[in-house]
Amino acid sequence: MSKNLSDKSIVQVLVQQCVKLGLKEVVVSPGSRNAPLIISFNAVPEIKCYTIVDERSAGFFALGMAQQLKRPVAVLCTSGTAALNYAPAVAEAYYQEVPLMVLTADRPQEWVGQADGQTINQSSAFANYIRMGIDLPVKINHPDDQWYAERSITEAFQKTNYPIAGPVHINIPLREPLYGRTSAMAMQKEPFKQLIPDAVLSENQLTDLAKVWNKSESVMILTGVLSPDAALNKLINQLAENTNTIVLTETTSNLKGERLIDCIDRQVFSINEYETALFKPSLLITFGGQIVSKQIKKVLRDNPPKHHWHISLNDNVIDTFQNLSLSIKMKPLDFMQQMVDKIENKKGRFQEKWKQRCNKNRKAHEAYLEEIKWSDLKALAHIFSHIPNGTDVHLANSTPVRYAQLFQDDIQVNTYANRGTSGIDGSLSTAVGASQTSDNSTLLITGDLSFFYDSNGLWNKYLKPNFKVVVMNNGGGGIFRFIPGPAETPELEEFFEAKHTQSAEHLAKAFGLNYLSCSNVEELASSYQKMMDNNEQPVLLEVFTPGDKNGKILRNYFKNFQSGS
C-alpha cells in the first residue's frame, strides 16, 4: 500500500479484500461517517475513485459503468437518508441484472432509534432488491471476526455475478473518531474462488428439445434487452436461416442481421384478427430482459403458442406471456451453442410471410414520414437515421425508448436503456457513467421530464468531450397523450403530462455543455450535424416539438398500418 489506511480495522479488511477480489472502481458521495472508507479506498492504487455528490445520481452513474464493464462497481455513501437515495439504482440493477456493490457507512447498532443525528435503520434497507446483504462488525475483536468479515465480503462480491448479476449491500457501522490513519494490517488468507461448472445439456435433453423444435411448424425467437454479444448474434442469425423460423428483436436486443425481424410494433399493428393464425408460432422461445412492446405481449397472451420456452438463470420463473411450458435455467448463449447443430432446416413459409409484411410496412412507414408535419416522430426520424457508426446510444424512458423501436432498422449501433424498472429517474446519470468506460461517442436521447428529473446527472467533472444529449422538449410527458386513459381525462395537462414551459438552456450552460436548439426540420438538420461534428466539448441539443400534436400523429402512424394490412 502506498499510503496509510484508516485505523478502523473493519475498514481495512473491507478495502483490502475488495482489492484482492478485483474491485477497480468506487463511486463516492461525500460525507463524514464514510470518511474512513473514503480515506482507505483513495489510498490504494488498484482502485479509481469517482466523486458524485447526489447519491441518486451516483447510484445510476455506477450502474452505467457496471453495465458496460460487466464487473462489479461500488457506490459508497455516508449514513442516514443518503443510503436510501441509492434505492432506484439498486432496484434497476436488480431487475436489469447489473453487478453493483452498495457500501453504506452507518452508526453502531446501539445508536439506532436513539435520536442521534443522521441515524436510521439501514440494515436490510434494500432487502427486496439485492442478491445478498450483510452487516459488518464495528471492529475486529477476535480472529473469528476477521474470518467472518473476509468470508462474507468475498461471498457478497461473488454474488454480484453468479448465478446471475445483480447488486449486493454491505452495511458498515463505524464509531468516532473517523479520520485516524495507520499502516495496513495483515489479512488472514486469500479470498476463496468459485468453480462454476459449464452448463451442459445431456444427450437425452438435447434429443427431447430438438424433437419438439424440429416438429414445430413455426418457430418464433423473441428477444428482450441484451448486451451486445457477437457470438450470440452469429448463432441467432444462423438459426434464422431456417425458413420456418423468425427472430423478433428490439432495439435494446442489440441483435442485427438481414433475416431478423425488427420494428415489432410496426408489424404487429398490421396483423388483423383474421390473419393472426398465419403469424402465430407453434413454438415460442424467449430470452433477454424486459420487452418494450406491449403489442407483442398482448398478441401472444391472446393467441398462445403450443409451446413456450424461456431461457434464463433468474431465480424467478418468468412467464411473461402466461403460457410457459418449459423454464430453461441456462445462459442463452450456452443453450444456443448446444442446440444449433440439432436443428433441422425445415421448409416453411412462416418467415416469408413475416418478411413480406415487414417490407410492406417499411414502405408505409416511409410514406407516412414524408407527409407528416413537424413533431416528435418527424424529428426522431432524422435523429435515428443519422447516428454515426461508433456511437453508443442510450435511450431514456418513457417515449424515446418506444420511438426507437419504430426506427430500429435505421439504428445500427449499440443501444442501451434502463428497462429493468423502466423509470425516468436515472437515464442521464447512467449514460454519463457508461461513457467513462468507452472511447466511443455517447449519445443520450431523452424526453424533457426525464432530463429535468435527473439533471444532477450533469453535476460532476466527468462529462467527456464526446458526450452528447438530445432533449425532446414537447412541454411535458408526451407519452400520456398517446397511451389509452390519460389522454381522455381533464387532469391530463396538470397531473399526467405535467405541462411546463421550461428550457434546458440554462442548465446546459451552467454545467459547461455547448447548447443548441431547433424548432423545425431545417434547424434540426443543421444543429444535429453541428452536435455530431463537435467532439471538443459536450453538447446538448434541445428539440422543441408541439406537445398537443405528437399524440395524434403517433396514433395515426399506427392506424396507417392497420388500414394498409
Query: Are 474 and 448 spatial neighbours (Cβ–Cβ below 8 Å)?
Result: yes
What value does the mean pLDDT take over residues 320-345?
A: 96
Dig out the grid coordinates for 106 from the structure. 452507518
Residues in the chain: 565
By the 10 Å C-beta count (0-12 exposed, 13-18 middle, 19+ buried), 211 is classed as: exposed
Q: SS3 string of 162-221?
A: CCCCCEEEEEEECCCCCCCEECCCCCCCCCCCCCCCCCCCCHHHHHHHHHHHHHCCCEEE
**Quick one: which H or E segment has residue 523?**
helix 521-533
The residue with cell 470518511 is: 35
Show the 3-state SS of 67-132: HHHCCCEEEEECCCHHHHCCHHHHHHHHHHCCCEEEEEEECCHHHCCCCCCCCCCCCCCCHHHCCE
List the strands of the sheet with 48-51, edge to edge: 48-51, 25-28, 73-77, 100-106, 167-173, 132-135
- Rounded to whole angstroms, what are the CA distances from 64 to 60, 74, 501, 532, 562? 6, 12, 30, 22, 39
pLDDT in tens, 90-149: 999 999 999 999 999 999 988 888 888 788 999 999 999 999 999 999 999 999 999 999
pLDDT digits (tens, 9 = 90+) for 14-42: 999 999 999 999 999 999 999 999 999 99
pLDDT of amino acid 345? 86
CA dist., res. 253 & res. 255, Å (int):
5
At 1 the pLDDT is 44
The tens digit of pLDDT for each residue in 196-220 reads 888 999 999 999 999 999 999 999 9
Measured distance CA(438)–CA(263) in Å, rounded: 27
What pLDDT is recorded for position 483? Answer: 57
Cα dihedral sign, 287-292-295-298: positive
Distance of alpha carbon 554 from its chain centroid, rounded?
Answer: 25
Give the pLDDT of residue 488: 61
The mean pLDDT of 263-285, rounded to a whole number, is 94
pLDDT score, position 564: 46
* Mean pLDDT to the nearest integer, 382-400: 96
Q: How many CB atoms lie within 10 A of CB 316?
A: 7
Q: Which tens digit of pLDDT belongs to each residue from 305-318?
A: 999 999 999 989 99
The pLDDT assigned to 565 comes to: 44
Per DSSP, the chain holds a count of helices (H) and strands (E) of 20, 19
Residue 487 predicted with pLDDT over 80? no
Closest by CA to 167, choosing from 196, 125, 137, 108, is 125
Q: What is the mean pLDDT of residues 325-346?
A: 95
Helix (H) or strand (E) holding 52: none
SS3 content of the chain, % helix, strand, coil (to 5): 40, 15, 40
What does the pLDDT look like over 452-479, one tens digit per residue?
Answer: 999 999 999 999 999 999 999 998 655 5
CB 398 within 8 Å of CB 423: no
**How many whole angstroms from its chain centre is CA 353?**
33
Q: Which domains, and CATH codes, for the chain? A: 5-177 (3.40.50.970), 203-356 (3.40.50.1220), 372-563 (3.40.50.970)
Span of 67-71, 492-496, 527-531 with lowest mean pLDDT: 492-496
| Identity of the amino acid at 32 | S
| Model confidence, pTM | 0.95
User: What are the tens digits of pLDDT across the range 58-91?
Assistant: 999 999 999 999 999 999 999 999 999 999 999 9
Average pLDDT, the chain: 93
Q: What is the DSSP letter of 48?
A: E
- pLDDT, tens digit, 9 for 90 and up, residues 393-444: 999 998 999 999 999 999 999 999 999 999 999 999 999 999 999 999 999 9
Place of cell 431514456: 396
